[in-house]
Chain A
Amino acid sequence: MTAIRRLPVLIGLTTLVILAAFLFLPFSTDVQSTEPGCEEPGLLDAGCETGRAEMSTLVAAVRAKAPPLPEKDTCLHCHLAGAETDLWTPLLRWALFGAAGLVFTYGVYRSASVWRTGTPWTPLTRRTAGWIDQRYHLSEPVAKILGKPVPRYALHWWYCLGGITAFLFVMQAVTGTMLAFYYKPTPEAAYASIQYIEAEVRFGTAVRAVHHWGSNGMIVLCLAHMLRVFIMGAYKAPRELNWVTGMLLLVLTLAFGFTGYLLPWDQRAFWATTVGTEIAGGVPVIGDLALVFLRGGWDVSGLTLSRFYGLHVLALPAATMALMGLHFLMVRRLGVARPV
């Protein structure tokens, strides 16, 4: 019975495979015919961009230090010129025909389903939701969450400050991951890897700028949110722990800024960290311990860099996410404080 029911789908898929084979055939024959300009050996990034002949000494130095580019660079210009042979063209082709194939399969399945059952088509979203709900009984709690009323007094822009901080955290996580793909946390390679990000990585400068200014924005908004809560007296009972977790989140944000500042490993970073950790060393009783723990020794060194990196990308994000979760749960549970 089920075999008969699935027959239309099978027919659709088979048709699709045959069709796809035909569509792909012409492309795979002319893959080799490329513009000679883009296959120029010797130049590391395939010489697609004209005017690269006179390289600045900086870029030359970066290239000497930086890891060599892959032999077949994925060049956007080349792709637009129709000469790209490596990554983007097949990817684009797969996305395009894959999407067309999915639409086609969906159409065949939908028609067959309507024809077989004689009932109107139920949207896929509702089908999926129903399938999940049958198993996990989620519709009731979800409806409760979505249906929760928002008081009108909580509709001013200053109630957005905390939410914007959370958004910025997500943005920092995304751009930070992008930077971590290229960054190398060793004293020998850190500086050169940042230069590599700025000079060679596509949109690397933009991603670094967003991460840099995002960190500043996060601190500003954290403080602004805190001031708003303080001024309005929203920290009072029953929201004491919201305030405490918020304060801890502010400390974590500052720690993010402090650890992240060292990572470029330039003079400013190095000496700001030297001075900053020295200040921590001025704390009575535990000062020396704090200093040695922060620096990984008595001096700022490669050990400091790697532990700041570890804190910046592992420990602080984990702690921040945990506290943010708690903070949000408490806000959700208690609602927004009514101003007096």
Chain B
Amino acid sequence: MAYTQSTSTTHPQSEDSIPFYPDHVRTEARVVAALIVAALAVGALGLAFPVGLGAPADPMETPAHVKPEWYFLALYQLLKFVPKTAGVLTPLLGLGLLMLWPFIDRRPDASPRVSRIRFATVGLFVVLLIALTLWGELS
């Protein structure tokens, strides 16, 4: 406490801010503690329900249903319906576009309405992604 007071000349604490130390550090420490407890709980649950293993890998025998991890499932499902080249290029180009997005969308937000539009767009996209993933999971 004396520590932050002595430093208040370099960083004047105003009404609309809190000191990083100790106030914010305390909050973060609580979050970390909660996460550690959660990790231990996952470990304890893991003792009861192990991740497990399938049959050993056999290059000679292709299983009936080959599925990637869930985070690639939407892409995998998409590839079933579009030509391979297009299906591979679309996510790659999308990723590139997304990476360069800050250089494309350069206008500062004028009002909260803009972020609401983005929220709706993202929401739609996420719903689509989830739907594709579920479809891939169930098919």
Contacts and interface: CB of A to CB of B under 8 A. Distances in A.
A239 B102 contact: yes
> Which residue among B27, B28, B52 has the maximum number of chain A CB atoms within 10 Å of its CB?
B52
Contact of B115 (A148, A149, A213, A340): A340
Contacts of A219: 71
Given A146-B3, A191-B53, A272-B69, A205 B47 contact: yes
Interface residues on B, range: 35 or more
Given A163-B31, A283-B89, A149 B119 contact: no
Nearest to B14: A149
B98 interface: yes
A209 B66 contact: no
Given A284-B85, A284-B89, A268 B102 contact: no
B116 to A, nearest CB: 9
A237 B122 contact: no
B79 to A, nearest CB: 7
- Report whether over half of chain B's contact residues are helix, strand or loop; otherwise say mixed: helix
A149 B17 contact: yes
B10 A206 contact: no
A239 B101 CA distance: 12
A195 B53 contact: yes
Contact of B76 (A236, A247, A275): A275
B53 A205 contact: no
Interface in B24-80: 24-25, 27-28, 31-32, 35, 39, 42-47, 49-59, 61-63, 66-72, 75-76, 79
A88 B50 CA distance: 27
A240 interface: yes
- Report whether over half of chain A's contact residues are helix, strand or loop; otherwise say mixed: helix
Contacts of B119: 231
Given A147-B4, A265-B56, A267-B56, A209 B76 contact: no
A21 to B, nearest CB: 40
Interface in A178-203: 187, 191, 194-195, 198, 203
Given A149-B13, A275-B66, A231 B118 contact: yes
B50 to A, nearest CB: 5
Interface stretch (A12-20, A95-103, A253-261): A253-261
A52 B105 CA distance: 65
Contacts of B39: 171, 210, 214
Contact of A258 (B66, B72, B106): B72
A247 B50 contact: no
Interface residues of A, number: 76
27 contacts: A147-B4, A147-B20, A150-B23, A151-B17, A168-B35, A205-B46, A205-B47, A206-B44, A209-B46, A212-B51, A214-B39, A230-B118, A239-B102, A244-B100, A254-B72, A265-B57, A267-B56, A267-B61, A268-B54, A270-B59, A279-B79, A279-B88, A282-B84, A283-B89, A283-B92, A299-B59, A340-B115
Interface of B: 3-4, 6-8, 10-14, 16-21, 23-25, 27-28, 31-32, 35, 39, 42-47, 49-59, 61-63, 66-72, 75-76, 79, 84-85, 87-89, 92, 95, 98-103, 105-106, 108-112, 114-115, 118-119, 122, 126
